[in-house]
Amino acid sequence: MKVKHVVVALTAFTLSAGASLALAQAKPEVLVKQRQAAMTLQGKYFGPLAAMAQGKAPFNGAVVARNAGFLEALSQMPWDGFDAASKGVKSEALPAVYSDAAKFKLASENLHAAVGKLVAASKGSDEAATKAAIGGVGKTCGGCHDDFREKH
Amino acid sequence: MKVKHVVVALTAFTLSAGASLALAQAKPEVLVKQRQAAMTLQGKYFGPLAAMAQGKAPFNGAVVARNAGFLEALSQMPWDGFDAASKGVKSEALPAVYSDAAKFKLASENLHAAVGKLVAASKGSDEAATKAAIGGVGKTCGGCHDDFREKH
């Protein structure tokens, strides 16, 4: 049991430093539920920003700043849920998540970097720059979904 | 459509200022899915801290600080999902969520306040104080579940 914990903890560490404790005892089905929860909430808080960037909703800088802060936290949450232990659980994750783990990790880092740029932009008052940063986040979402999620 | 947006926005505002845009277009089922996602992630990041406070896992200050930061964001996320529009959707929420909305709102504020204390404690080096703050958060979770969630 202890050896398994250490292995799981090390795997988690390569995905997200410090996440080991959250992962150590989670069952595969729980890992999937938790990572899907993080995706759901990223959608909740990114959706309205995408609408603003596309001109489908009026720009609201306060909402962008708040949601960007939430996304800063949320964008760190899904990745330890893609631990190899969850490979056999039915989900929309493509096998490439596990067979091309380095590319998947890079995609998750790209999201986090893009969210960082959005957080920075949302603290300023340049609406065009903020909308561009929203677009940057959207590209990393879509890029990763193209490669690693079943087509809808 | 516009009137409905305003009504929904005002309802949201009483629950969580600024949340209106995230809520304005969400269907009842989506509201429930989103609030359950926030609960799932609160469990993910609070569970290991509860284990530490209870002596079931070794204390790890770095994990407490990280998870407390995540909980600071997550503890703001469930509440607009309990909009009256979601009343008819099957979930574990008890009718009191809607019939005693003021008490429910207070419970959510108690959680957020307790998480704030945990964030502060986790930045120090007083393990006992941090464990006490973890216990304080746990009490607000349990208190709210007692009153507003179906018994398991």
pLDDT one-digit tens code per residue, A92-115: 999 999 999 999 999 999 999 999
Q: Does pLDDT of B103 surpass 70?
A: yes
Stated pTM of the model: 0.85
Which pLDDT score, from 0 to 100, does residue A17 have?
A: 36
Task: Say how many CA atoms lie within 13 Å of A32 toward its Cβ.
Answer: 13
**Nearest residue, CB atoms, A73 vs list B36, B37, B69:** B69
Q: Give the pLDDT confidence of B8-35 residue by residue, as tens digits.
A: 333 333 333 344 444 456 899 999 999 9
Chains A & B: contacts with CB separation below 8 Å? 71
Contact A37, A43 (CB under 8 A): no
d(CA A85, CA A103): 19
Asked: is B27-148 a CATH 1.10.8.100 domain? The reply is: no
Residues of chain A with Cβ-Cβ distance to B33 below 8 Å are: 40
User: B149: which strand partners?
Assistant: B93
Q: Give the pLDDT confidence of B54-88 residue by residue, as tens digits.
A: 999 999 999 999 999 999 999 999 999 999 999 99
Residue B6 in contact with partner chain A when CB distance is under 8 A = no
pLDDT category of residue A152 using cuts at 50, 70 and 90? confident
Taking CA atoms, what residue in B is nearest to A41? B34
ipTM (interface predicted TM): 0.84
- Residues in chain A, total: 152
Query: What spatial distance separates the first Cα and last Cα of chain A, rounded to whole Å?
Result: 39
Domain limits of chain B? 27-148
**Which three-class secondary structure state does DSSP give residue B51?**
helix
Residues of chain A with Cβ-Cβ distance to B34 below 8 Å are: 40-41, 44
Mutate to test the interface with B, among A13, A20, A21, A23 (most CBs of B within 10 A): A21
DSSP B27: -
User: B42: which strand partners?
Assistant: none
